Structure 1
Amino acid sequence: MRDALRRLRNTHVARKLWRRAPVSLLALSLSSLLAVSFARADEAALDPAAVEFFETRIRPVLVEHCYSCHSAAAGSPKGDFRLDSAEHLRNGGPGGAVIEPGNPAESTLISALKYESYEMPPSGKLSDEIIADFEQWVAMGAPDPRNEAATADEAPTVDPRNHWSLKAPQKVAAPAVADRAWTRTVIDAFILARLEAANVKPSPAADPRTLLRRLHFDLTGLPPTAAELEQFAANSSDAEYEQAVDRLLASPQFGERWGRYWLDVARYADTKGYCFQEDRNYPNAFKYRDWVISAFNGDMPFDRFVVNQIAADQSGDPNAAAASGFLTLGRRFLNDSQLINDDRIDLMTRGLMGLSVACARCHDHKYDAIPTADYYSLYGVLASCTETPRDDLPAAMADAPQPATQHIFLRGNNGSPGPEVTRHFLSCFAEGEPQPFQNGSGRLELANAIASRNNPLTARVWVNRVWGRLIGRGIVATPSDFGVRGEAPTHPELLDWLAVTFMDESWSTKRLIRRIVTSNVYRQSSAPRPDCHEVDPTNALLARMNRRRLDMESLRDGLLQAAGRLDVTMGGPSVQLTTAPYSNRRAIYGFIERQNLPAFFRTFDFANPNTPAAARPQTASPSQALFMLNSPFAIEQARGLAERSAAVPENSPPLADTDRVSQLYQFALGRKPSVEEIAEAATFVAAGAQADAAAQVASQPRWQYGYGTYDPLSDRADFHQFPHFANGTWNGGEAFPEVEAGWAMLNVQGGHPGDATHAAIRRFTVPAAGTLRIEGELQRHAAEGNGVLGRIVSSARGRVGEWHVPTGGSATSVESFPVSAGDTIDLIVDSIENNHHHDTFFWRANITLTREDGSVEAWNTLDGIDGPRTAAPAPLDRWSQLAQVLLMCNEFAFVD
C-alpha cells in the first residue's frame, strides 16, 4: 500500500492534482487519524447524536433498573456507588472505575451486565439488546450529559412553554438593506441584513460551471456531463439557470436524491436489527422506499405526505398503502412492544417536529415542556393499534377494535402503572388541558395535529432540513432538536418567513427548493474568506457558500457514471452494494443492513439506520482515501473509466494519447484538461509502458499446466490450460481419460500425453530479462510402445531442444540463451506415431535465470505443483492509474 501511495504521488499528474486539492483525502497525517479515532470521552459528550443515544438508550435503563439502589434517592447507595450523575459513574465505587471509555471489554459495568463478574441488576439479567446498547455507548466514549443540577430535579429558570419554537411562525416583511441590487429574492434580503450589520459583504457568484455542478448534485445527486457544463458556461444567464433548475426538479432522479434524505429521517433499513428465531429481513421494505421516491417526484404536499405515513389506512389516499413503512420498518427490539412504541414516538416527534419527547418516558422532560403524561398519551395511541403483516407491502398499522386504557409507567417500568392518561396531542401546544382524541386510537387525529398549520414546529423543521441540505448547515444547527437545549436559529425571521410561505404554497417541497436555489445566497462562491475569520468563523452569517464533500451515494454513483456504467433503472428490490459482482444500480437501491452496517457505509458517513438521523457528519479520514486506492469496486471503476476514455466509433483509428487524456478528464471531472495537464499526463502514460509490461508479467504465475499441439511450421505450441486438479494431478476432468484431453495429464514428477493433438505441456513464464539455462532428464520406464518425444520451445526463439526417449532416460539440457520478461518456455511431451499407450513419463527440469543485474534465480519442477488459485487482479496500467488519481482528487470528491 505504501508503495502504491508513493508511486501515485511521485507522478507529475498526481503532484499537480495534490496541489489542486489542499484538503486532499490522501494528505491527512497520522495525527489527524489519531484525532479522529481517539476522541476524548468529554468531546463525545458534546456531540448531540451521542447525547441522544444516552438519553434514549442508556438513561431509561439506569432509571428503571439501577437508581433504586445506586442513586441519591436510595438514601445510602449500595456498595457506596452511585449511577445517577456523570461524575459518580465516572469515579466508580470503592473498587475504582467501572467503565473504561472506548473499551467495553475492560469495563466492569459491562461484565456485570453480562453476569460475568457481578450480576447486575440482581433482579434478572437484562436483554442482549440492552447490553449491546451499553457496549456501544462505552465504545463511543461513554458520553454522559448528566450533572448534579439535573439529578436534583431543579426547576428550569425559563418557562420552556415560552420557547421560541413553540410560538406560531410570523411572516414578517423583508428587512431593508443598503445593497438592494444584490437581493434577487426575499431570502437574500434576510441574509444580507445580518451581513451588513456585521460589516461583511457577500461573496461574488460562483462561476457557471461550479454553480451547475452544485445544482446537479443538490437536486439529483449526479454530476452534469461535460457537454452540459460547456453549454451552460457558454450561455450562462438567469433564464438558462432557472431552466436548469426546473429541468432538474422535473427529473426522475430528483425523487431518488431527496427520497434518500427522507429515508435518513425515517431510519429506513431492509432488516430488523437484532432478532431471534425469525426472519431478519423486511422483504417488502423497498416498497416504502419506492413510495417515498414517487411522492417526492410528484411533489406530494408535505402535510399530506406526513399524514399518509402515520395513518395511511385512514388518510383516504388509495395509493398510500406502502407509506405505513414509516412506522413499521424500525428496529424490532426482540419484539418488545414497549421499545417499539418508544422508537415510533421518537420518530414522529423528533423526526417531524424536532422535539425529544422520548426523553419523558421515565420522568418529566428535564428541559422542554413535555410532561411524562404527554409521552404516555402518545404511547396510548400506538398501544391502541395493531400491526398487520402483508404479503406484498410493508406491515400496516390499523386501529385495534377497542382503544387501550393507558397509564403512566412509573420510572418507565411497564410493571409499575401509575395514573391513567387520555390519548391527546402534546400539551405545550394547547391552551389549558389538551383535548382527548375522539376517534378510535386517535392515530389519524395525531397525524393531522402534527401536519397542522397550527403546529408551530412541523413546517419549521422541514424547511430547516431542506435549507441545511442545500446550504450546508441549517438555520437551526440542531435540525432534530428545536427544544431548549437546541441551538437558536441564526436567522429566525427568515426561518419563519420560509415556513409560512411553505405552508401558503400548499406545502410544496419543490417550490421551497426552487426558491432557495434561485437566491443569490445559494449562488455564492465557496472560496475561503480570510476577512471573515474573526467576525464569522463558522460561516453562520453565510458570507459564502459552504464547500461540501460528496456523500456516500453521490460518490458511488459518480464513480459509476464516470466509468459509463451507471444503471438508472428505478425502483425494485434492494441490491447488495459491497459484494462482487458489484451492482451498477444507484446507491439508494442498496440493501441496508441495520445491525451490521458494512464498512463502506460507515467509512463514508452513512446515516445510522437505528434512529432518525438529524444530519450526516462530514468527515475526511485516511480510510476514505484508502478505500479509493485499494477497494476492488473503486479499482474496477478506474479501469472502466480508462477503457471508456479509449473508446472510438467502429472502424475509426485509435485515439492519440493527448485526445485520450482529454476524454479522461471530461468523463471524470466534466472539463477539458489544460495544455499543461495534457502534457504531464501524456508523459506519465508514455513513461509507464515498460513498467506496466513488467508489472503484468510479475502478476502471472510462474508455472501453468495444460495440453496442446506443437506446430513445426510456426515452431510454436498451441497451449490450453487443464481445467481440473485433484490429488496433485492436472487433467481434463473428473472422468479419466476425459473426452477432450484424453489421457493427457501432469503431476509433480511428469505425466502422460494424450493423442496426437493433445501433448502434455508444462509452461514456464520468464519473470525478467536475462539469460536462461535448462538442465534435466526425461524418463520413460515402460518397454512397450514407441516411446515419447520431448521438446522445449521458447515463445521468442522457437524450439531450443528435442529428445526421443524410447525407454530409459535422456538428458534434456539447453545451453544458456537470452530471454525477455514475459517469454514462455514450454516443456512438451508427445506420443510417437499417435501411439500413446504406456507413455507415462518422468521429467525433472531445473531452470536457472541470470538477470541483467547479475542476480540468479532458479526453479525445479520437482519442488511442487500448484493447484487452482484465484487469479490476482492485473495491476493497474498507467491509464488506469491516471483515472484513479482523477477519481481520488478533491475536484471529483467535493462540491464547491
Structure 2
Amino acid sequence: MRWFFVLMGGGGLFAALLAAEPAPRSTTDPLPLAAPLRNDPLPKRPATDGANPIDAWIRDRLDREGIPANPRADRVTLIRRVTLDLHGLPPTPEEVAEFVADPRADAYERLVDRLLASPRFGERMARHWLDLARFTESDGFERDRPRTNAWPYRDYVIAAFNDDRPYPQFVREQIAGDMLPESGAQGIAATAFLATGAYDEVAHAAASQSVRNLARQDELEEMLATVGQTFLGLTINCARCHNHKFDPISIRDYYALQSVFAGTRRGDRPMQSIRDGATRQQELLRIDRELQQVAEETRRVQTVIEQRVRRSMTTPTVELGPLPIARWNFDHDARDQIGTLHGTLMGQAKLANGRLILDGKSSWLQTAKLPKPLREQTLEAWAAIDRLDQRGGGVLTLEKIDGSQFHSIVYGERQPSVWMLGSEFFRRTRDVVAKPESDAAAPLIHLAVTIHANGTVTLYRNGQRYGEPYRLLGEALPPTFPAEMTHLLMGKRHTGAGNGLFAGSIDEARLYDRALSAEEVATSFRAGNRLPSAEQLAAATTADEKQALARFATRTQQLTQQRDLLKTVPTVFAVVSVSPLETRILRRGAIDKPDAVVTPRALPLLGHRPPELDVTPEMTDGQRRLKLAEWISDERNPLLWRVMANRVWQWHFGAGIVASSSDFGRMGEPPSHPELLDWLAGELRRSGGSLKSLHRQIVTSQTYQQTATESPQARAKDAENRLLSRFRPHRLEGEAVRDCILAVSGRLDATRGGPSMQPFQIEQFNAFFYRMFEKDEPQWNRRSIYRMQVISAREPVLETFDCPEPSVRTPRRVPTTTPLQALELMNGALVQQQSKRLAERIAREAGPTPREQVRRAFALALNRLPSDAEQTQAETLLKTHGGHALAWALFNSSEFLTVR
C-alpha cells in the first residue's frame, strides 16, 4: 500500500525515493554460495560402491524424488556424444568402428583420455571461455577498427586448456600475467582478458572532457563486470551508481575495486616479458660485439690486400689514403665495394660512365641498413654540380630510417652556392664563411665533413678546410645512429625533404666510422677517388685471405640472422599500463559528482583473506593488478572453485548446477545439487586446479553416459531435467555446425594457431566496413575459432545458429529455433559448396556403387549405417538427383545437428 501511495500521489516523495541511495547490506551478511566449501560425506549407496562419486549424489536425489535413472547409452552414441562434446567435431567412421570393437572394460575411459590429450580439446574448450571473456578482434561501436594483433590471446587460452594449466594460475595470468616472470611472453598475451571488450574510440577521442570521462567510466565498469562475473560469479558492477540492492557490495566497494585498474588501458604492446626483454637485450649486445669484432678482422685483411694492390699500381712514393668502412665507385653497379651496404637506385637515378647520375627531381640512391652503430663519422664524396642555382640538395646523407635525425653534405640551402652540414631542424648546422661555387663546368669537387663525438664539426673542399670548424654544445651534440635503423642516401638530403634532391653526379662516396684528421682528409684528396677496383682486389687476394674473408662473411650472415630473429618481437593487443590516477566515489555514478577518494581494496564479503590489498601510492598498475589476482586466486576462496566447477558442469550438461553461472548472488538461481557442487569444487582444488581431471570425472560418470530417453516419471516431476535422470539432447553451437560440415566433407583445414583468417574484405571510409565472402579454399576452411571475431562482420551460419555478439559476455548460449536456420542450411553458400565436396568424397572413398556411397555418407555424417528404409530412400535420392543431394539432406537432418 505504501508503494501504491508513492506511485499514485507521492510527487516529491517519489523523486526523493529515487534519489535516495539504498542502505548497504552488512558486509557480514554472507551470501550462501560464498561460504567455505563443505565436505559432506557421499550418500550411502551400496549399488554405487567404487563407482564415480558424481553418480552417488545424482542417484540419491533421483531416488528421493522417485525418478529412475536411465541406462547407459550404446557405444556408437557415446563416442559421437563425447567426441562432439570434447572436440566440437564428429568422430571418423574408423574411430567409431575401433571403439565399438574394443573388448577392454576400460575402453570408454581410454577414449576419453585420448580426446583430452588431443589439441582439439583446447580449441573446443577455448570457445566456451572466449564467450566469457567477450573476445573480439575489433573495437565495435561506429568505427569498429580491426585489432589484427588480438589473436595471441585466443592462442593463449587454447594452450592453457591443452596444457591443463592449473586454474589459479590461469586466473592470475589473465589479470596480471605481465607481472609474473614465470609466465613469460604468454603472460602478456593473457592480460588481453581485461582489454578485449568493445572500445568506444569516438567517445574516448571526443573534444568534451565529460564525454571522455564517461567513456572511461563505462570502460572500467565493463572491466570490473568481466572480472567479477567470470571469476567470482558476482555482479559487482551493479554497485556503480548505488549500493548493490541484493548482495553485500557497497558503492564504496565498487570504486575501491575500480581503483585497482586506475592505470589499466588497452592497446598493442610487444609480447615480451621483462625477463625475456633483459635476456634478449643481453644477447643482442653480445651479437653486436661479435659483429664488430668480425667487421674489424674483415677490415684488417681488406686493408692488407688494398695496400698491396695500391703499391703495385704506381710508384712506391704514392700516398695511401685512410680506409673507409663503406665505399661506392659506380663502375659497374651500386654495390658497396667493401662491405654489404649495397645501394638501390630510386626514382630516375641511373649509372653512366662510372658515376651516379641525379636529375634533382626524382632520383636518389638508398643503401642497406648499417650493421653497426655510428656516432663519430666522416662523410666523403667526389661530386659534380649540374646547376649552380639549385638549393638544398644533399650529396651524401647518413640518417635514421624514419628520417628523424640525419647528417648530410648539402649544397646551397641556407646560403646560395655554399656547402654546409645539414641536420634535422638545423640542430647541428652552422653557416660557414667560404667562397661560393661559381663554375658548373668545373671538374669533380672533393667534399668531406668530419663529426667528432665531442661535437666538433669540420667541412672540407678539395682537401682544404671549408670555413671554420665549430663546436656543438648541450642537446646539439651528435646523436648515435643505431645499427639496423640507419642507412645512407645519395642525392637526397633526408627522407621527406621537399627540396632535398641534388642535380649533378657522384663519382665516388665513402663512409668512415671515425672523424678523420685534417691530414687524413688531405691525403685522401691527393690519393684521389680511383681506389683499386673489386677485380684488382680479388686478383691480389691470397688463398688464405679468401678463406678468412669467406669465414668472416659466413659468420656475419649467421650473426645478422640471429639478431634479426631476436629483434622480431610479436605484438599483442592487451593491457597497456599508465600511471594510476586518483579514484573517487561518484555519487549516483555521475561523473560530475565526485566524492571521497578511495584506495585499492578487494571485496569484504569473502572471508578467505582480508580485503586490504596493501597497495601503496607508488605501486604501478601492474603491481596493483597482481595484488588483486593473488586475492582472487587464493586457494581458500570458495567462489574461485565453485564458479569454475559449475561452468565445466554446464559445458557438458547444458546447464550448471547453479543455472545462473555468472551470478552466485541472491538473485542467481539456487543450486540443484549443492553438496555435489561443493564436492566438484573440492575435487578441483584437491587436484591443484586440473580442469582436465574435472572434465574426465564428469564425462566418465554414469550420469553423463545415460541414454536421452525421457521416462514418464521424469516428464511429470522434472520436465527441465535439472535432476539429470537422462542425457539432455542439444543442438550444436554455430561454430560446431560449421566445423562439422567441413570435417564431414573432408575440407576442414586443421592448421592451428597464428593470425586469424579474415573471410572478408576491409574497406575504410571514416569507419571500417567488412565485406563478407564464402570461398571453398583451405585458408578459409580453418576451424571457426580461428575466424577473426569482428563485431560487425558475422558469418551467416554462425549468426543464425545463435553465436552471440563477440563483445558481449555470454556465460550460457540460449538456442533458438527460427525459419532462418532452415533457410541457411537449405540455401547457404557453405552447405551448397560442402554438399558437393561430400558427394565427391563418398564417390572417391566408396566407389561407384550407390549402396556403398550411401553407407559411407551415413557413416561420415551420422556415425552410423542407415536402416533398410533409409538405405532404399537414400539410394533413390542419389540416383535421381546425385550425391550432392544426399549430402545436402544429411546436413539438413536433425540428427546431424544434435548431440544425443
TM-score by length of 2: 0.59
**What SS does the aligned partner of 1:390 have?**
strand
Correspondence for 1:299 among 132, 149, 164: 164
User: What does 1:126-145 align with in structure 2 at a 5 Å threshold?
Assistant: none
Correspondence for 2:228 among 349, 362, 366: 349
What code does the residue aligned with 2:775 have? Answer: P
Is the 8 Å Cα contact of residues 311 and 443 (structure 1) preserved in structure 2? Answer: yes
Structure 2 Cα separation of the partners of residues 349 and 73 of structure 1 = 37
Correspondence for 1:418 among 595, 599, 608: 595
Is the 8 Å Cα contact of residues 223 and 558 (structure 1) preserved in structure 2? Answer: yes
Farther off after superposition, 167-176 or 358-367? 167-176
Of structures 1 and 2, the larger Rg is shown by: 2
1:888 aligns with 2:892: yes
What code does the residue aligned with 1:202 have? Answer: A
In structure 2, relative to structure 1, the CA distance for the partners of 1:541 and 1:264 (3 Å cut) is same
Is the 8 Å Cα contact of residues 385 and 398 (structure 1) preserved in structure 2? Answer: yes
Deviation of 1:396 after TM superposition, in Å, equals 4.2
In structure 2, relative to structure 1, the CA distance for the partners of 1:508 and 1:226 (3 Å cut) is same
**CA displacement, residues 239-293 of structure 1 (integer Å, 9 cap, x when unaligned):** 11111111110101011001111111100011011155xx701111111101111
Structure 1 Cα separation of the partners of residues 134 and 67 of structure 2 = 40
**What SS does the aligned partner of 2:717 have?**
coil
What code does the residue aligned with 1:895 have? Answer: V
User: What does 1:458-537 align with in structure 2 at a 5 Å threshold?
Assistant: 458-537=640-719
Partner of 1:328: 195
Is the 8 Å Cα contact of residues 380 and 406 (structure 1) preserved in structure 2? Answer: yes
**What SS does the aligned partner of 1:420 have?**
strand
Is the 8 Å Cα contact of residues 22 and 242 (structure 2) preserved in structure 1? Answer: no
Deviation of 1:889 after TM superposition, in Å, equals 0.8
In structure 2, relative to structure 1, the CA distance for the partners of 1:260 and 1:74 (3 Å cut) is farther
What code does the residue aligned with 2:235 have? Answer: S
**What SS does the aligned partner of 1:294 have?**
helix
Partner of 1:169: 37
What code does the residue aligned with 2:895 have? Answer: E
In structure 2, relative to structure 1, the CA distance for the partners of 1:431 and 1:621 (3 Å cut) is closer
Structure 1 Cα separation of the partners of residues 608 and 125 of structure 2 = 36
In structure 2, relative to structure 1, the CA distance for the partners of 1:679 and 1:389 (3 Å cut) is closer
Correspondence for 2:109 among 217, 222, 242: 242
Deviation of 1:636 after TM superposition, in Å, equals 0.7
Partner of 2:582: 405
1:308 aligns with 2:173: yes
Farther off after superposition, 579-588 or 430-439? 430-439
Correspondence for 1:75 among 12, 15, 37: 12
Structure 1 Cα separation of the partners of residues 10 and 756 of structure 2 = 51
1:394 aligns with 2:572: yes
Is the 8 Å Cα contact of residues 25 and 250 (structure 2) preserved in structure 1? Answer: no
Is the 8 Å Cα contact of residues 282 and 329 (structure 1) preserved in structure 2? Answer: no
Structure 1 Cα separation of the partners of residues 659 and 13 of structure 2 = 42
Deviation of 1:333 after TM superposition, in Å, equals 2.2
Partner of 1:568: 750
Structure 1 Cα separation of the partners of residues 42 and 817 of structure 2 = 38
Task: Name the % identity.
Answer: 37
User: What does 1:445-844 align with in structure 2 at a 5 Å threshold?
Assistant: 445-577=627-759, 579-582=773-776, 583-648=780-845, 654-686=847-879, 688=880
Q: Which runs of 5+ in 2 are unaligned?
A: 1-6, 205-214, 271-569, 760-771
1:288 aligns with 2:153: yes
1:338 aligns with 2:201: no
Is the 8 Å Cα contact of residues 613 and 627 (structure 2) preserved in structure 1? Answer: no
Structure 2 Cα separation of the partners of residues 575 and 325 of structure 1 = 19
Deviation of 1:613 after TM superposition, in Å, equals 1.1
Is the 8 Å Cα contact of residues 126 and 158 (structure 2) preserved in structure 1? Answer: yes
Count of residues in Structure 1 that have an aligned counterpart in Structure 2: 561
**What SS does the aligned partner of 2:247 have?**
coil
Structure 2 Cα separation of the partners of residues 151 and 657 of structure 1 = 75
Structure 2 Cα separation of the partners of residues 529 and 477 of structure 1 = 23
**CA displacement, residues 457-504 of structure 1 (integer Å, 9 cap, x when unaligned):** 121111101000111211000001100000000001111111111011
Is the 8 Å Cα contact of residues 802 and 813 (structure 2) preserved in structure 1? Answer: yes
Deviation of 1:661 after TM superposition, in Å, equals 1.5
Is the 8 Å Cα contact of residues 275 and 332 (structure 1) preserved in structure 2? Answer: no
**CA displacement, residues 740-789 of structure 1 (integer Å, 9 cap, x when unaligned):** xxxxxxxxxxxxxxxxxxxxxxxxxxxxxxxxxxxxxxxxxxxxxxxxxx
Partner of 2:378: none
What code does the residue aligned with 1:251 have? Answer: S
Deviation of 1:178 after TM superposition, in Å, equals 5.6
User: What does 1:88-237 align with in structure 2 at a 5 Å threshold?
Assistant: 161-177=29-45, 179-180=47-48, 184-235=51-102, 237=104
**What SS does the aligned partner of 1:457 have?**
helix
Structure 2 Cα separation of the partners of residues 255 and 561 of structure 1 = 17
**What SS does the aligned partner of 1:161 have?**
coil
Deviation of 1:358 after TM superposition, in Å, equals 0.6
**CA displacement, residues 161-215 of structure 1 (integer Å, 9 cap, x when unaligned):** 322111011222111136436x721111111110111111210001111111111
Partner of 1:813: none
**What SS does the aligned partner of 1:438 have?**
coil
Farther off after superposition, 338-347 or 384-393? 384-393
**What SS does the aligned partner of 2:596 have?**
strand
Is the 8 Å Cα contact of residues 239 and 250 (structure 2) preserved in structure 1? Answer: yes
Deviation of 1:220 after TM superposition, in Å, equals 0.9
1:427 aligns with 2:615: no
Structure 2 Cα separation of the partners of residues 519 and 526 of structure 1 = 15
Deviation of 1:437 after TM superposition, in Å, equals 3.1
In structure 2, relative to structure 1, the CA distance for the partners of 1:165 and 1:230 (3 Å cut) is same
Is the 8 Å Cα contact of residues 877 and 885 (structure 2) preserved in structure 1? Answer: no
In structure 2, relative to structure 1, the CA distance for the partners of 1:309 and 1:74 (3 Å cut) is farther
Structure 2 Cα separation of the partners of residues 610 and 572 of structure 1 = 21
Q: Which runs of 5+ in 1 are unaligned?
A: 1-69, 85-147, 689-876
Is the 8 Å Cα contact of residues 609 and 631 (structure 2) preserved in structure 1? Answer: no
Structure 2 Cα separation of the partners of residues 489 and 604 of structure 1 = 29
What code does the residue aligned with 2:601 have? Answer: H
In structure 2, relative to structure 1, the CA distance for the partners of 1:658 and 1:175 (3 Å cut) is same
TM-score by length of 1: 0.60
**CA displacement, residues 212-234 of structure 1 (integer Å, 9 cap, x when unaligned):** 11110111111101121122122
Is the 8 Å Cα contact of residues 363 and 371 (structure 1) preserved in structure 2? Answer: yes
Is the 8 Å Cα contact of residues 160 and 484 (structure 1) preserved in structure 2? Answer: no
**CA displacement, residues 290-312 of structure 1 (integer Å, 9 cap, x when unaligned):** 11111111111111011011101
Farther off after superposition, 330-339 or 423-432? 423-432
Correspondence for 1:374 among 233, 253, 260: 253
**CA displacement, residues 620-658 of structure 1 (integer Å, 9 cap, x when unaligned):** 222111110000111111111111111159xxxx52211
Is the 8 Å Cα contact of residues 21 and 243 (structure 2) preserved in structure 1? Answer: no
What code does the residue aligned with 1:174 have? Answer: L
**CA displacement, residues 135-172 of structure 1 (integer Å, 9 cap, x when unaligned):** xxxxxxxxxxxxx9x99867699998322111011222
What code does the residue aligned with 1:580 have? Answer: E
Structure 2 Cα separation of the partners of residues 512 and 258 of structure 1 = 13
In structure 2, relative to structure 1, the CA distance for the partners of 1:151 and 1:476 (3 Å cut) is farther
Farther off after superposition, 430-439 or 234-243? 430-439
Structure 2 Cα separation of the partners of residues 343 and 381 of structure 1 = 14
Is the 8 Å Cα contact of residues 269 and 576 (structure 2) preserved in structure 1? Answer: no
What code does the residue aligned with 1:619 have? Answer: T
